[in-house]
Amino acid sequence: MLYKYRAIDKNGETQKGMIEAASESEAAAKLRAAGLLFDSIKPTKSARAAFFARKENIPQTLLSRLARDLAIYLKAGVSIVNAIRLASSQYANDRKINAFLTAIATLLDEGKSFSQALESQSVFNVPSFFRQSIKISEDGGVLPDVLLELSRFIKDLEGIKKQARSALFYPLFIVAVSIAMVAFMMVVVVPQITGMFEQLGQELPPLTRFVIAASDFFTAYWLVIILLILFAAIAHSFLFNTREAYRYAVHSFILRLPLLGRIAMTTELARFCYMCSVLMRSGVPFVQGIRLAAQVQNNSVLSSLFLKCADRVVEGGRFSVALAQAAFRVDEAFIRAIALGEETSELESILSNLSSLYFEENRDRISIFLSLLEPVLMLVVGGAVGFIIAAMLLPIFSMSIGT
């Protein structure tokens, strides 16, 4: 946690600042070790909040911007501590981000490396792949280059997520409106028409009886249905976030879907190839690059597959052979491209080209999927509404014909 302090140094001058520590007593011990006679030590707001709230994930846009700024400062010859302080000055009005950067600067002053500071600070949860990439780049002396590549990588991922969200907005809106429309008709409109049929005492067609029975069911148990849906959503979220076996089963099911499965796999392979090429370009060994890229995967099936194949590479095997012999088969073109890269020692450039091809292929598939989804949804909505209207009009037509 981050503590604010006021102390007197050996020259008798008053100093104010912040220090990262697990407790107030540890903060006091660190100040005494630094030769400071402290007057007060108080936890910051973010430190107090840490007792009651789980550490948040750092915003990806912030992480991308921070990595870019630090890379620029480091390339200009600024030390990492001063680069962090310069970056912190840009967020003076945002207490949480300022506390995050101040905590890192404090830990750097205490002698920790940048990767250690990212792991030890208690304000934001920084992704594991980012921390591991920083650690390897520090050991290899290529920190500015890796930071710049990581900034581009995170920015590209966020751009793809925003495009997907904006593209799905209209279909989701249609689904929401259709559900509301059908629910209104079943709960409000149909019961009113049913009362008229009961007064007439006429025998109703099977289709009409079915719609009336469904309307009676939804009218009587609508609250139970909503609660069951909420319970199912909460249970799914809990199991997905806490049970690896359940998450693996869900991801395996997604990969087996006809069109969505191909889109999901292509997205993950593009992310894997991009991350591997970035790390190899920055001097990271291929095996380590596989393991770090596996941590970026959102799909547990592919992440587990790549980690197992990385172990086979450590044992002396080829990555392409391990992929081909795995129980879960990825794209054959991906395996052949990896094999070609291993034979020609051009793996980094092939991975980079593969990521571009997969990203482009995914854009085309998503656009085709969305262009087909909209008319299908319109047909489903129109069919559902038309079915209810037809069921209600059938008795009226029967009366007209009978008379």
Same domain for 157 and 27 = no
Which pLDDT tens digit goes with each residue over 341-354?
A: 888 888 888 998 99
pLDDT of residue 249: 93
Nearest to 361 by CA among 300, 270, 288: 270
Position of tokens 């209810």? 388
Position of tokens 């409000």? 188
In contact, 47 and 100? CB cutoff 8 Å: no
Task: Give the integer Cα–Cα distance in Å for 65 and 244.
Answer: 32
Same domain for 61 and 172 = no
Tokens of 340: 């070609």
pLDDT of residue 50: 45
Task: Give the integer Cα–Cα distance in Å for 130 and 140.
Answer: 15
Same domain for 121 and 132 = no
Same domain for 118 and 39 = no
- DSSP H helical segments within 37-94, as ranges? 45-50, 60-75, 80-89
Nearest to 80 by CA among 71, 93, 90, 89: 71
DSSP SS3 for 43: strand
Nearest to 102 by CA among 21, 194, 2, 32: 2
Q: Domain boundary residue among 94, 126, 158?
A: 126
Same domain for 284 and 250 = yes
Q: Domain boundary residue among 93, 126, 159?
A: 126
Is pTM beyond 0.95 here? no
Same domain for 401 and 304 = yes
As a whole number of Å, the CA-based R_g of the chain is 30
The total domain count for the chain is 3
Range of the domain at 234: 128-403
pLDDT of residue 200: 66
Q: Burial code of 49-61, b = ≥16 C-beta within 10 A, e = fewer? A: bbeeeeeeebeee
Task: Give the integer Cα–Cα distance in Å for 100 and 123.
Answer: 5
pLDDT of residue 53: 44
- Sign, Cα dihedral of 126, 132, 133, 138: positive
Same domain for 334 and 228 = yes
Q: What kind and span of H or E run contains 97?
A: helix 95-109
Same domain for 352 and 252 = yes
* DSSP code for 285: -
Which pLDDT tens digit goes with each residue over 39-67?
A: 667 776 554 444 444 567 888 888 899 99
Task: Give the integer Cα–Cα distance in Å for 98 and 56.
Answer: 15
One-letter amino acid at 283 equals: G
Task: Give the integer Cα–Cα distance in Å for 379 and 109.
Answer: 64
pLDDT of residue 17: 67
State the CB neighbour count (10 A cutoff) for residue 280: 20
Same domain for 322 and 284 = yes
Instruction: List all residues 6 or more positions away from 40 whose beta carbon is below 8 Å from its beta carbon.
Output: 5, 6
Question: Rounded to the nearest 5 degrees, what angle is found at the Cα of 330, between the Cα atoms of 327 and 333?
Answer: 135
Same domain for 222 and 138 = yes
pLDDT of residue 51: 42
Q: Domain boundary residue among 126, 155, 172?
A: 126
pLDDT of residue 97: 86
pLDDT of residue 330: 87
In order of 24, 26, 34, 200, the CA distances from 29 in angstroms are 9, 5, 9, 89
Same domain for 171 and 118 = no
Parts of the chain with a pLDDT under 70: 1-3, 5, 9-13, 15-40, 44-55, 199-202, 398-403
Same domain for 104 and 87 = yes
CATH of the domain at 263: 1.20.81.30
Position of tokens 């890269």? 341
